[in-house]
Structure 1
Amino acid sequence: MWKIAIVDDENQVLQGMKRAIPWDRLESEWAGDALNGRDGLEMIRTADPDIVITDIYMPIMNGMEMVEQLRKEGYQGKIIFLSGYSNFEHARQALKLQVSDYVSKPISIPTLTKILGKVIKELEEEEGERKRQGELEFKLSLYEPFIEKEWIRSAAIGTLNQAYRNIAYLPQPYHYWLSRRHVTVGIDFLRDERAGNLSVADWNLFRFAVSNIACEVTRKLFPDMEYTELHSTRAILILHPEEDSREMLENRLKELGIKLANSIGSYLKLIVRIGIGGLRDVWTEISESTEEAFRAIDRSAGRSITASEVYFYREDYQWEQEKIALFPVKLSYKLATAMKLSQEAEAHHLVDEYMTLMKNQKGTTSANVQMLAGELWGIITYSLYESGMLLDELFTDEQVAEEIGSLVVPEQLERWLKGKITTICSSRMWKGSSKHRQVVDYMTSYIHEHYAEDLTLAELSEKVYISRNHLSIIFKNLTGETFNNYVTRVRIEKARELLLERNMLVYEVAEQVGYKNIPYFSTLFKKVTGMNPTELIK
């Protein structure tokens, strides 16, 4: 109901309008009245009507003065001026005060009703626009964390577009970066015998746990920090230390590295390498510190050491004399992205780019080649898992392990890797017309946006104009899993994120992701993750 107030010093006029206005037809209600501008001002402040009908000439405070004061106080309602005089100056002032209408007395009820109808229509349109704007802002708020997370990762690894590497595009929460120094800490999981037996899904669970441990440990020593994951076995901490001396900072970083390694090892039984890059004065050079952090790890004496260690990057190292570094962070990310998008040519190009660097290195051993093959394969399998694709139907773990063990020289690694990329990109998971891929992309996006709703394949088939049975086949061929399994996995992944945030109870999380039956939710959760919700929280 729209609220309408009336201010007029002629009580007969005021009461006449109150009786004659067709309130029900206009879906409106009377909000209050007053006989002068001063009383009208107080009444409007209290009642906050949507529309004010007011005379101009009144004792104590006239209508123009009253509205001027209301506008100064921020009142946004609609104003309709009534006047027994035709005055150009008053009309001009009314325009300045954003008045909806200016009419002369006497005014007939049909005319007043027509004016009120016009003003109410304006209010409805504005209300609709505010609602649409609110919905848009809400949707943007949902996507903002993902956009922000991707921005941080791009800044950390050097894939941020050059146009966005200036102050104008630095997100507001990170403006403090401008007055700080920066250093990157690389976290690298060692694939020992135990870790090597973990499935890709298990690795994903461990990565969630590592992120919680890493952030909790780090914030105690460096409150200003960001954590972002890379593909496969690596993650990054970006720190912004205060003005410590170099020696004090190095001691704090070493303490952090030891605590990270010990905590992850103690809670998850994982062996990690911690690499610490060089200190940078400007945020656009954070990616250089990232490369240095993993370079420091890669120069360690092999990846089969059985204890977690911390490595510092040193500018005086003769890196060109060291053994080949593992796949550089930036290239690693680009390869993962190319595989997600099934860009076979781009993936081959990235392999060529890296192999050129590798072949120029002296003293590359078969152990180095096999180690690199394992790392590159890990990047590919994990990136595809993030896109909802498992490679179990194409390759077995035993087959891949045997093939990697037979690689001796870089040329063999290059042929093997390119062959795997071609097989993956041409497999049935990526077959189908461009139109079919667009349909499945739409479906997966829709699922990620509406996972908490009651989603059915029949509903989506109507949206994309493809029969339900045919759509089911297309979806399975391109994603490798059924529609219902995909929806379940998206819901459980979201539930896992919410549970790890520890802001909601299990039943609240279940409802948030679309399950009203809590036991059924717990059963599905355990089936997908291998543990029930309570175990995950612990």
Structure 2
Amino acid sequence: MIKVMIVDDEPKLRQGLQTLIPWESLGLTVTATAANGEEAIEVIDKEPPDILVVDIRMPLMDGLQLIQYLTSNGLQSQFIILSGYADFEYAKQAIKYGAAGYLLKPVDIKEMTSTLKRVCERIEEERLQRGKRQNNVVNREWCLHSLLIPQDTNEASTKLKTLAIEAELLWSSYEVVAVFPRNTDRGRIDALHQLASTLKTAIEGIGMGVVTVISPYIVLLLNKPLRGMQQRQKLYEKIQYALNVRFVAATGGAVSVPDEISNSYSKAQKCIKQAFFSEKGRLLGPDIPSSLLPDSSPVSGTSTEEMMEGFIYRIYYSLDAGHPSMILPLLKEAAAYFLNQEREENFVKESFFYLSNAVIHKLTAGSPKKFNRTEEVSRFLKEIFEFEYLTELLEETHRFLQSLAEYSVPEGKEKEVKIMINVIHKHYADNLKLETLAGMLNYSTAYLGQVFKNKTGEYFNTYLDKVRIQNAKKLLEQGMKVYEVAERVGYTNVNYFHSKFKKYVGRSPSDFKIHN
């Protein structure tokens, strides 16, 4: 049965139409009535009718406003306009909005019945044509999906060639481009189809190939290979213009026979999954390097945990010593390390969250008043997981960490030594190494060690030991236990602490504690 809704502010007319028109014999049924346009919209949202009989003059929202609203929101119903005024302007507007009939009040039953019959015939014809179109589309879509999805049978080559012929897709070459829309309702297949429909015009309309949807991708099967970066970029811009949403797109490369189409599609999917490590604003592909970062050889025998601790301390010392220019190179080095380890996007983001949080914590713990930026820090750490490209993550992490840096870098020839001394006195309890400071200051370890010895008269490790022992004496005088003092000043081995303390003080820590 074809569903009808009557919208009129006159209760008698609504009742009269329901009673006087032979709805059932016409293959119709009145499913709802409404007194105005706003009331009608509430009902239509729940159960859209096939035909709306609508009065022109109604309070709140008149008939023409209702029709305009419904058609602009995609409702494909037939409209019959009722009017108590022989106003040609209303008739023109009704025709403009696609009204199937325009009747004057009081309604003539024969004329109304005749109009309804004509509208019913139109609906049935449209349903028939739509069914034929959908049947052809479904068959072609099924063939296309079969070509894109790998086949396991031994007869795959012959079968796929037959499918290509049936779907009129037997071409001399193929290239699959997968498009992944970002920030759309990925769970809704209709959202993907809506975006795909705009691409159909851009691609199918000029004979470049065909477009389909395999959630969560919009898939383009091109009938000619993309040759060179210029053609790839041109297609990327065409997709960008058609979709007008943020997306990632990748090609799986050109193939020559139907049974290789699925391979091209698989490669395109793989490229999209690695898009985080690629360049923004371009069509990705299997022959395009996945990373813009320079190579970095992993340190053999070093665990990921040890590498992370090393990066944390090097970045922290660089910031704390007023040497922020080293931050971006260190971040790139960390990223390159993870890439060489073939880590996935989530692992890299989690690692940068951990690294950034640890550095920020050390800085804020050291200067709580100066770094009173809790909300800003929280927002930045949350955004780490929202970056779509590694380059964006590096740039923003660099910017944020650099904003925390102290820019009071010592001047003059001895600035490197002053930085080292400052770091030692601030961080003597940490696992300080000359190699770490050399990397931070961009000098070789041997050269920096010699500069330090020439300026201070002490080797780096000797100077560090003396600072630690000096602070250990203060803690022992406060009554702390020997093993606690050892840990507090940076010695993990108590016996080693004993030997160092006795070397520089002349007696054991216990003896010093008793007599002071």
TM-score, normalising length: structure 1:
0.32
RCO greater where, 1 or 2, for CA within 8 Å and sep 6 or more? 1
